[in-house]
Amino acid sequence: MERVTKLASEKPVVIFSKSSCCMSHTIKTLFYDFGVNPAVHELDEISRGREIEQTLSRLGCNPSVPAVFIGGEFVGGANEVMSLHLNRALIPMLRRVGALWV
């Protein structure tokens, strides 16, 4: 848990992903299209990625990827991020944590 907390706090937006996951790709693209530069951790490409994935599952992220943290706080997976976006709450949240300036 401590490792996930530390990684999740390294930038305003942190995404835990898998390089082969289409939903992870979609969420990363959404943030990139906004002009956000998230820290992305590809769990299938890093050491102890499986351990991190299990921790994310315990946090309630099901499926475990993508898992998005904004301002160090767990936001959720693809469904939660898309809901925030459709409800026009995502961009203000990104501005509040300094991930967007415009």
CATH of the domain at 84: 3.40.30.10
Rg of the chain taking only CA atoms, in angstroms: 12
Q: Where residue 35 falls among pLDDT bands split at 50, 70, 90?
A: very high
Q: Is the pLDDT of residue 14 over 90?
A: yes
Q: Is the pLDDT of residue 102 over 80?
A: no
Q: Where residue 62 falls among pLDDT bands split at 50, 70, 90?
A: confident
**Range of 62's domain?**
1-101
Containing 7, the helix (H) or strand (E) segment is helix 2-8
Q: Where residue 60 falls among pLDDT bands split at 50, 70, 90?
A: confident
Containing 3, the helix (H) or strand (E) segment is helix 2-8
77-94 residue pLDDT tens: 999 999 999 999 999 999
This prediction's pTM: 0.94
Q: How many domains does the chain have?
A: 1
CA distance 4 to 32: 22
